[in-house]
Chains A and B, each alone.
Chain A
Amino acid sequence: AQTVTQSQPEMSVQEAETVTLSCTYDTSENNYYLFWYKQPPSRQMILVIRQEAYKQQNATENRFSVNFQKAAKSFSLKISDSQLGDTAMYFCAFIQMNRDDKIIFGKGTRLHILP
């Protein structure tokens, strides 16, 4: 079965701190994309960062970076120098390449950045 597990339902950190959100997934496929999506309160869900499974180098987007461990099927998100605007629900997800188009999501982690 294809599943995504986010073990932290909710987290709070102080502004400017670094926070890591955990994610593990399960798939029998070898080629897939991994994503972290962010949904701020009452706003649209947006893509934060994307990782191709065939790439060993961890993706980075400004203050956001991932730690991708393919053998362990782990895909954590690190937010450095956290800002109040990072307060949101974060969803870990993946999609199989060259198969169906459905994204498989985790349950989400609600992140609060405290002033």
Chain B
Amino acid sequence: EAGVTQFPSHSVIEKGQTVTLRCDPISGHDNLYWYRRVMGKEIKFLLHFVKESKQDESGMPNNRFLAERTGGTYSTLKVQPAELEDSGVYFCASSQEKTGPSYEQYFGPGTRLTVT
């Protein structure tokens, strides 16, 4: 079974440009999460989809960030326009609908975003 995949693995863009990150969750996982780790800091939650609906977007930094999950499959996270402080590693995770005391989220390898 394929794990969570993310594309690209690394992106370097200039301040003011737009970047779109993609995440493909594990097949059949209704829950999809985005997290971000800024260098030297904690990994922080950005938002949570259940199928195509945003369940919780309390961690989104500002309105320059737009996440979508059309059809409840893959998700995209667009940053427009990018700022220097957006640099970091963006992780995607997915999980099955909670039916037991597992709460395990499966993480992708991350996309390293560098804004210059």
Q: Do A and B come from one complex?
A: yes
Q: Check if A44 sits within 8 Å of B108, measured CB to CB.
A: yes
Q: How many residues of B contact A (CB 8 A)?
A: 28
- Binding stretch for chain B, among A14-22, A46-54, A61-69, A70-78: A46-54
- Smallest Cβ-Cβ distance to A54: which chain B residue: B101
Q: Which of A44, A50, A91, A93 has the most CB of B within 10 A?
A: A44
Q: Let me know if A102 and B45 touch, CB within 8 A.
A: yes
A91 to chain B: which residues have CB within 8 Å?
43
B32-64 near A? 1/0 per residue, CB < 8 Å: 010100001111110010000001101100000
Which chain B residues lie closer than 8 Å to A95 at the CB level?
Answer: 103
Known contacts A91-B43, A105-B44; is-contact A100 B56 (Cβ 8 Å)? yes
B108 — nearest CB in chain A belongs to which residue?
A44
A21 to B33, CA, bound (A): 27
Minimal Cβ-Cβ distance residue in A for B56: A100
In the complex, are the beta carbons of A101 and B104 less than 8 A apart? no
A103 close to B91 (CB less than 8 A): no
The CA of A43 and the CA of B109, in the complex, are separated in Å by 6
Selected from B55, B56, B104, the residue in CB contact (under 8 A) with A47 is B104
Q: Which one, A44, A50, A93, contacts B109 given CB within 8 A?
A: A44
User: Shortest beta-carbon distance, A36 to chain B, in Å?
Assistant: 12
A2 to chain B, nearest CB (A): 11
- The one of B3, B42, B55 in contact with A107, judged by C-beta atoms closer than 8 angstroms, is B42
When chains A and B are docked, how far (Å) is the Cα of A70 from the Cα of B1? Answer: 36
Question: Are A50 and B104 touching (Cβ within 8 A)?
Answer: yes
Q: Would you give the shortest CB distance from B100 to chain A, in whole angstroms?
A: 11
Task: Provide the bound-state CA to CA distance between A105 and B95, in Å.
Answer: 17
In the assembled complex, the CB of A46 is this many whole angstroms from the nearest CB of chain B, namely 7
Q: Pick from A33, A37, A42, A105: contact of B103, CB below 8 A.
A: A33
**A103 & B105 in contact (Cβ 8 Å cutoff):** yes
Q: Other than the known A37-B107, A93-B43, what 19 A-B pairs have Cβ atoms closer than 8 Å?
A: A42-B109, A44-B3, A44-B109, A45-B109, A45-B110, A46-B107, A47-B104, A91-B43, A101-B31, A101-B56, A101-B95, A102-B33, A102-B48, A103-B35, A103-B93, A103-B105, A104-B42, A105-B42, A105-B43
